[in-house]
Amino acid sequence: MQRNRFDALVSFLQGASWATVIIGAYLFFTLFYPFGLIVALIGGFFGALIGLFMVVFFEMAHTQEEILKEQKEQTQILKKAFESKTKES
């Protein structure tokens, strides 16, 4: 399957977003650990939120691009079917 630049960019940004999730969770967890385990877990969760938001955003972009590709393919199929139907008539 041939991938275009947009596909490659979105995949790269999804990977970077997952890295942001891991780094954010780790940093906030270690930052808040002196205040207690529960506070550190909550801090880690909030540290991971921005990365998780980016993961969802780029996944939605990827999904929308796949939908657009599928609609273009279906349009071509319908055009061919319509042309063949009009030739028969």
What are the extents of the domains in the chain?
5-88
Q: What is the model's pTM?
A: 0.77
Please report the DSSP string for 6-25 in residue order. Answer: HHHHHHHHHHHHHHHHHHHH
**How do the pLDDT tens digits run along the chain, 89 residues long?**
557 888 889 999 999 999 999 999 999 999 999 999 999 999 999 999 999 999 999 999 999 999 999 999 999 999 999 988 888 76
Q: CA-CA-CA-CA torsion for 70, 76, 77, 78, nearest 10 degrees?
A: 110
